[in-house]
Amino acid sequence: MTTIPPEKLLPHRVGLVERSPRLEELLKALVKEDVLFEYNVPASVRSSYADEQLVHYLRETYSCPSFVVEDSEQIKKYLGVGDRVFKRGEFARKEVVQPNMVGQFVEKGKSGMIKVTFKDNGIWELSGEKLYVAGKIGVLTDAYKEWKKHLPLAQFTKELDTNYYLGYAGEKQERTITFIPDGAEGLVVNTYKGYDRGIHIVWAFRRDVKQRSGEKEGMTWPKDWFGPGDVILARSNEVNFEQLYMKHIQGEG
């Protein structure tokens, strides 16, 4: 196979440099083959590099096994379902229960423990000795008046049901429900355009990865949302550059 030096190709003016027709055809082919072409081969490169420089740049760019996109605006533009991403910085979500937080009674547990659900902080199983009655849904009852006195649950004589609010009087407790370490690898399973944090990601198993999931219509979905600035996009390189080069530059194939 004879390689034609770029300087021998017929010149064609493009922007600030003269571009050969054959190289122009190669660029057009790359536009069709590479969804990330505008990112991989920026206009500034296409308009200022001489042919020989540009060919070298293209060969180097398309020799990589994957294309890495770190700019959040570009990720927002190109990211889609099925894309592989890596976490940028660690992410942790915690649930907390602390003094005077009020939640809703769920059910009685064993050995004097009571399950209480707190808004945005999940269900906690707490000692009845650390709880007091804080009211009842819908109406102002005697329970509400008793809450003003911080009536301990042990002194409350009525039967609890899910209409009752309970306050917490113990020490602050917290638990980590999500932890995604820096560099963790994940797969995009859903994107909601127009939202700053509209990306659902399933993270690959690692001992230090802890992720939440929920069920909807029999399917399991991630419960945490991420934004373009939270990840680095790594899309596989599916472009056969050498084949395109031989066809459009060498005139083979």
DSSP string, 29-41: HHHHH-TTHHHHS
Judgement on whether residues 143 and 193 belong to the same structural domain of the protein: no
Judgement on whether residues 10 and 132 belong to the same structural domain of the protein: no
1, part of any domain: no
| Residue 131, beta-bridge partner list | 168
Q: Using N-to-C axis directions, what is the helix angle for 241-248 and 21-33, rounded to 10°?
A: 150
On the question of pLDDT at 14 being above 80, the answer is: no
CA distance 209 to 149: 44
How many domains is the chain built from? Answer: 3
pLDDT at 187: 97
Q: In sequence order, what are the residues at sequence separation of 6 or more whose Cβ sits closer than 8 angstroms to the Cβ of residue 230? A: 87, 88, 89, 91, 197, 199
pLDDT at 2: 37
Q: Which domain holds residue 51?
A: 6-65+238-248
pLDDT in tens, 141-197: 555 555 555 778 888 888 999 999 999 999 999 999 999 999 999 999 999 877 788
Judgement on whether residues 88 and 180 belong to the same structural domain of the protein: yes
CA distance 238 to 98: 53
Judgement on whether residues 188 and 83 belong to the same structural domain of the protein: yes
E strand or H helix at 52, and its extent? helix 51-61
Please list the helix, strand and coil fractions of the chain in percent, rounded to the nearest 5, in that order. Answer: 25, 35, 40
